[in-house]
Amino acid sequence: MLKSLTAFRVLESWQVPSFGELSTALARTVFRPCGPTERRTSGWVPPRGVDHGPLLETVGGQWLMSLMSESRPLPASAVRAELELRLDAVEAQIGRRPRGKAKREMKEQVEHDLMPRAFTRKSVVTVWLDPRSRMLVLGTPSVKVAELVVAELLRVFDDQLPLAPLDTQQSPAGAMAAWMAARQAPAGFTIDQECELRQPDDSRATVKYTRHTLDIDEVALHLQQGKLPTYLAMTWADRVSFVLTDDLKIKRVKFLDVDAATSTGTAGDSDEDAFDANAALATGELSQLMGELLDALGGERAPPSLHGA
């Protein structure tokens, strides 16, 4: 459900809607498949994956939504090949090859003609809103995908959703470097056996460690030379392993202390029970993890619109 996270703080100027108001707003932008000549469509689908189910779910006071996107990616090689054939045909007819604007228009026509034959791809992003703590979490580490999801949320809220990326007093890269140099993770966390160190200059010299202890002199030397971590594998409370990045993304989340009945359901359990159990586990554990991680990074900086409040 939530294997990678990009988090935002919802600013205090936003009036949190009621559960019913949000459900109604989501219903205005339900997912529909791509038309024959459309590159992409996005819309909301039931988080439980049940046809005609609710578009908004609440588990333990946490609100969950799912944004589905469908795209028709056109292989660039196919477009180039078809365009070359058409350019050759025009050159054979009039004795010169189209260029500039004429060539661009021909390329657009090629893309339009090939679009209905392109295979479609679907993807789903989990959206988690904690209305009490005013935290919005997107189940993706991708900046591009996060921008798409935020754009769809703005459609839902009529462009009235003031968000600020999480910003901490201490930079994640600086904090990770300090933890590694001291060979001591912050309280409640452990450092695992994977990281990437990169020189923050034009050389971009990079060293990666995978399945390798980081408590060694070689790593300390790289840090002394000025390299900074771009990511670091960690574990929280012996319950959740994850990778922290230098832009405050959380990737490759894995729940370690999970009862089999909670994670997969027991005989006779319904899909609904399994969804509730997984949602409660994910949001409950990750809420605590993120709170302690923000504390380990010195706490949050106040979003710009809250300065001086």
Tokens of 105: 């228009």
- Strands, E, within the chain: which ranges? 6-10, 40-45, 57-59, 62-71, 121-130, 135-138, 163-165, 189-198, 206-210, 228-236, 240-245, 250-255
What three-state secondary structure class fits 308? Answer: coil
CA 292/CA 294 separation, integer angstroms:
5
The domain limits of the chain are 6-73+117-165, 76-116, 172-306
Whether residue 209 contacts residue 180, with contact meaning beta carbons closer than 8 Å, is answered with no
pLDDT in tens, the chain (309 residues): 799 999 999 998 888 899 999 999 999 999 999 999 898 999 999 999 888 899 999 999 999 999 999 999 889 999 999 999 999 999 999 999 999 999 999 999 999 999 888 889 999 999 999 999 999 999 999 999 999 999 999 999 988 899 999 999 999 999 999 999 999 999 999 999 999 999 998 889 999 999 999 999 999 999 999 999 999 999 999 999 999 999 999 999 999 976 544 444 444 456 678 899 999 999 999 999 999 999 999 999 887 654 333
Contact residues for 189 (Cβ-Cβ < 8 A; gap 6+)? 234, 235, 236, 237, 292, 293, 296
- pLDDT of 269 reads 57
Burial 231-268 (b: 16+ CB within 10 A, else e): bbbbbbeeebbbbbbbebbbbebebeebeeeeeebeee
Question: pTM of this prediction?
Answer: 0.83
Residue type, 50: V
